[in-house]
Copies of this chain bind each other. A is one copy, B any other.
């Protein structure tokens, strides 16, 4: 099995699906000849032809709308929004249209599109190349929201998303494109090749939507994480010396409540981590859910470790980012609580 980094895994998912299904096509800003600013679509146009992987005008609303129309026709479009920070011009089409087409037409029309978008910090991109807007989508009924944390999952989840009959948004943590970044930013990032989850089958397989994965078993507390924070949480557990169980949610909506509840009931403590700003972030929903489902098992307040309630600041990336030190501190606090 070849070792792939996350970009290669995503590229392979699209390649596999374009090969299997003539209704799958890919478009977005700079994804055609050039292969995308993060190179996720490299080679797809050359291999599958100009009309199957092509550049789009700089109009995120138009890109989503075109994908909805294509979906209504019967295609399975895969679109790239160049940075999650630029998804907002397409917000109306996603929220008012893609998410509600099946419901409002009672299944007469559907929008089985897949939207990929790089998200989170990692390139010193300041406030408009670093955002984590997932909570702005988890509030919207009718869309599924996915965040992979490694190459194997990225490919399997992306294929599952393309095959899914509902609109799916995949937030791709750009910090993880090249390696399992664990938040110790002074250290060099080790390449994916050294990580077991970089072993990615070349062909077709899926990782089911809606299923979380326990990536580290433990008894003292539960960490709910996704994307980059899965790796940070593991590093923090080591750093704090806490026997933490780390859950990689993988899909945010629908959330795998069973895995979450089983773990928190076991450990009695919970730390929620994400890079997005805190207030009304997806961590709030997780906290509410855990509290509702596990109240009588909780031995300490649920803690949230998150980005601050500010835009993403260029010069303060490492003070903004909820790194392993902050997560470890929270773990210790929760253990004492």
Residues of A within 8 A of B (CB): 61, 85, 88-89, 91-92, 95-96, 100, 103-104, 127-128, 135-136, 138-139, 141-142, 253, 276-277, 279-285, 287-288, 291-292, 295, 298, 300-304, 309-311, 337
A285 lies within 8 A of B279 (CB):
yes
CB closest chain-B residue, reference A299:
B295
A288 touches B283 (CB 8 A): yes
Q: Could you tell me the distance in whole angstroms from the C-beta of A64 to the nearest C-beta in chain B?
A: 11
For chain A, what secondary structure do more than half of its interface residues adopt (helix, strand, loop), or is it mixed?
Answer: helix
Chain B residues near A311: list those with CB within 8 A. Answer: 100, 103-104, 141-142
What CA separation (Å) do A302 and B309 show in the bound complex?
24
Q: Are A282 and B280 in contact (CB under 8 A)?
A: yes
Cα distance A266–B88 when bound, in Å?
A: 42
Write the chain B residue with the least CB distance to A128: B96
Q: Which residue of B lies closest to A94 (CB)?
A: B88
CB distance from A333 to the nearest CB of B (A): 11
- In the bound complex, do residue A92 and residue B100 qualify as a contact, i.e. CB atoms below 8 Å apart? no
Oligomeric state, in number of copies?
2
Q: Indicate if the CB atoms of A141 and B301 lie closer than 8 Å.
A: no
Task: Kindly report which residue of chain B lies nearest to residue A255, judged by CB atoms.
Answer: B279
Q: Which of B91, B135, B295 contacts A280 (CB 8 A)?
A: B135
Rounded to whole angstroms, the CA-CA distance of A82 and B280 in the bound complex is 25
Which chain B positions have C-beta within 8 A of A128? 96
Complex Cα spacing A229 to B291, Å: 23
Which residues on B sit within 8 Å (CB–CB) of A301? 291-292, 295
In this complex, what residue of B is CB-closest to A302? Answer: B291
A6 vs B322: C-alpha distance when bound (angstroms): 44
Q: In the complex, which residues of chain B have a beta carbon less than 8 angstroms from the beta carbon of A136?
A: 136, 139
Q: Specify which of B92, B138, B276, B291 is in contact with A287 (CB 8 Å cutoff).
A: B291
